[in-house]
Amino acid sequence: MEQFKKLGICEPILRAIEDERFIEPTEIQEMSIPYILDGRDVVAESATGSGKTLAFGSGILHDIEKGEGIQAVVLTPTRELAEQVASSLRIFGKYQHSKITAIYGGVGIEPQIKRLKRTEIVVGTPGRVLDHINRGTMDLDNVEQFVIDEADTMLDMGFIDDVKKILRACPLKKQVLLFSATISKEVNRLAQKYMVDPVNVSVEAYVDASKLEQIYYKVSNIMKFSLLLHLIKNERSGLIMVFCNTQRNTDFIAKNLQKYDVDAVALHGGLNQSKRTSIMNRFHSAKATVLVCTDVAARGIDVPEVSHVYNYDIPNESKHYVHRIGRTARAGKEGKAISILTTRDKGYFDAVLQDNDVTIIEEETPYIQQVEIKWMEKPKDNKRSGRRQGRNQNRSYVQGGHKSHSDEKGKDGQKRSFGNKGQQSRDGGKSQGGPKRTFGNKSQQSRDDGKSQDGSKRSFGNQGSQSQNGGKDQGDQKSQKGSQRRPRQHKR
């Protein structure tokens, strides 16, 4: 405790730290707390799990005065992180009886309005904080400290304009603390515009590289899930995180793991807040041992007992690899990061190796048998659901968002596909002579965009039929647009 006391932390917070049995400060705490308590603006490069909440929390809680309204605002990119930060601040501020309120979307706003009238520290997501500002239900006139947590993720998610609006709504004279896992050019520009002579603090990743084993396996796409299941079943592990790139894959993996008696839960942005909170409570309490998640949903989650991180999908942004593996091998514990590669992952994996200082060893893929998979149902269009009934003979299945390559082969070794009216030729409809042809009735689509012999584009079929290139019906178009939609931003 003496080392914490040397940093200048006040007595009530020291008592709370002692209750938590913290022995010595982390590197980010040791480097940043003296500047924070001195009132300086600070830009800190620090990964999740490095102790940054206590770093900025010690400064916020130190200066809070009872009954003086909202005096500090902490912005976080996700609801889970808002709850986590608010919970930690309540622990550190329990002997000061500080009033702390977490605000975020997805839940009723009226209870938040009532709590904001008597709170002193607000922890929230940009969208909901800005909503309260616009409603006039959040008085920021007395704000003296402003914290931007996980700033790089905040910018990646498109919250930059909201963050700027909230900063401008606060008094001009205030202390600004910016914490980020990576300091990008955009983060630096934000710091230069809204901070006064900031102190830059950077610490190495909290992950102990000597205790983190990083490996990868090469496998065919149809064996990808089978390998994941085999590893989870046979690796001696604590809590496990499995990362996917899409919400659809996340649900797909979790449901199939559950089918084979693995206590898995899925976490992504498509779930309502009540469901997300319930899932995280199950994972924290180890009632569910496997958390299948997307990068954004998992950002800021700090669970020390995670022993294994699986990259079922290689991240499409190379920097996310470091964020993912940073969930394990913490505080002297051993950890393992396992990536499962198919041929289509090679480009992303090459970027991970090129952009990050990591050493990932290839392991020989064990002999395993392919397991049966419960395929995800395709989204239904209510207007067409009646017509689509009875068409489930169509066997263009998807494993984790990719088509299976296990098409039936004919005697000549060429791939062929057989099916009913709604089915398409899997080999592109090539005839024995070589040119592409398409067979079927009106509901069938042309795989070669309906080009005629003279090269001009043609379209065959009825009104509901379109070319493969753009030939989705109205319901599928809506579904696809929804999955590619950019993060929602508030109108200015």
Query: Tens digits of per-residue pLDDT, 165-220?
Result: 999 999 999 999 999 888 888 899 999 999 999 999 987 655 556 788 999 999 99
CA distance 80 to 125: 10
For the whole model, what pTM was predicted? 0.61
Q: How confident is residue 483, by pLDDT bands cut at 50, 70 and 90?
A: very low
Same fold: 2-202 with 209-362: yes
376 and 232 Cβ atoms separated by less than 8 Å: no
Residue 244: closest CA among 303, 315, 325 = 315
CATH 3.30.565.10 fits 2-202, yes or no: no
Q: What's the whole-number average pLDDT of the chain?
A: 79
Question: What sign for the dihedral angle of Cα 93, 97, 98, 103?
Answer: positive
Domain spans in the chain, listed from the N-terminal domain onward: 2-202, 209-362, 410-441
In degrees, to the nearest 5, what angle opens at C-alpha 184 toward C-alphas 182 and 185?
165
Distance, CA of 92 to CA of 77 (rounded, Å) = 22
The pLDDT value given to residue 184: 83
User: How far is 423 from 407, CA to CA, in rounded Å?
Assistant: 13
Q: Look-up: residue for tokens 């899925």? A: 266
Task: Between 267 and 47, name the one with better pLDDT.
Answer: 267
- pLDDT of amino acid 459: 41
- Per-residue pLDDT band for 471 (boundaries 50, 70, 90) equals very low
- 460 with 450: CB under 8 angstroms? yes
Of 64, 66, 45, nearest to 55 (Cα)?
45
Tokens representing 339 are 């990536």
pLDDT digits (tens, 9 = 90+) for 80-129: 899 999 999 999 999 999 999 999 998 999 999 999 999 999 999 999 99
Half-sphere exposure of 266 (CA within 13 A, CB side): 20
Question: What CA–CA distance (Å, rounded) separates 17 from 200?
Answer: 25
Give the burial string for 148-174 (b: 16+ CB within 10 Å, else e).
bbbbbbbbbbebbebbebbbebbeeeb
Domain covering 209-362 assigned CATH 3.40.1050.10 in the classification: no
